Amino acid sequence: MLADDYVHPKPGFPAPVTSETICWPEGCCVCATPATRGIEAKAEDGQTGTNVAVAAAGLALGSIAVRTGGGTTYTLRIPHCAEHDDGATLEIKSGNVPPLQIRFRSYAYQRRFLQLNPKPAKAA
């Protein structure tokens, strides 16, 4: 069992990007102090035509920028304080539904992110 305030040296706590709108928890994604900037994170899908569930998302710090042509690149800005710049990564995991996910260093921030961005209910 992890302590509520555990922060891993590298991003490892996954959170799926499940909606066209992302709600960010308040504060830096590492230490929860007030966020002063957004650090850009990118994920590339080198396969043309791969169906990724999120095409664009409105974010508090901007939006997911989607570039296509020989593959797809997703870019978003993740909230950080002035002291941190490595609190999260963005990646595409083939076989995952949805395939686009954010990995956080902070266990507490990942849990707050999941509360604000729940997975949609499956259609019956």
pLDDT for position 123: 56
- Model confidence band, residue 119 (pLDDT cutoffs 50, 70, 90): confident
pLDDT digit string, tens, across residues 67-84: 666 677 888 899 999 999
Q: What is the DSSP letter of 108?
A: H
Residues 9, 86: contact at Cβ < 8 Å? no
Q: Domains of the chain: which residue ranges?
A: 13-116
Quick one: tokens of 96? 């995952």
The DSSP bridge pattern shows strands 88-92 and 100-104 to be: antiparallel
Q: How far is CA 6 from CA 12, 37, 43, 106, 124, in A?
A: 12, 22, 25, 6, 37
- Among residues of the chain, what percentage have pLDDT more than 90? 49
Nearest one of 72, 58, 68 to 100, comparing CA atoms? 72
